[in-house]
Amino acid sequence: MWVGVAKEEKQSYGKRLEDTKLKPVFLNICDTEDLESLFNKKKIRDIKKELVARL
């Protein structure tokens, strides 16, 4: 879980983080496509590149 700023939150100069509405964000590190690529003998280097691009 990662904490991010809410989409509807407006930015302003000098706004403190304590005054900002935050929302939890869930990032998938490993996806089913990654597992399928691994089983299909795809190079781990290529799988890692796709993983980083997704994050």
Residue segments in the chain with a per-residue pLDDT below the cut of 50: none
CA atoms of 44 and 32, how far apart (whole Å)? 15
Chain center to CA of 32: 16
Domain residues for the domain of 48 are 2-54
Q: What is the pTM of this model?
A: 0.48
- At 17-28, the pLDDT tens digits run 899 999 999 887
Please give the tally of structural domains in the chain.
Answer: 1
DSSP designation for 7: T
- 2 bridge partner residues: 25
- Return d(Cα 51, Cα 13) in angstroms, integer: 34
Looking up tokens 């964000």 gives 25
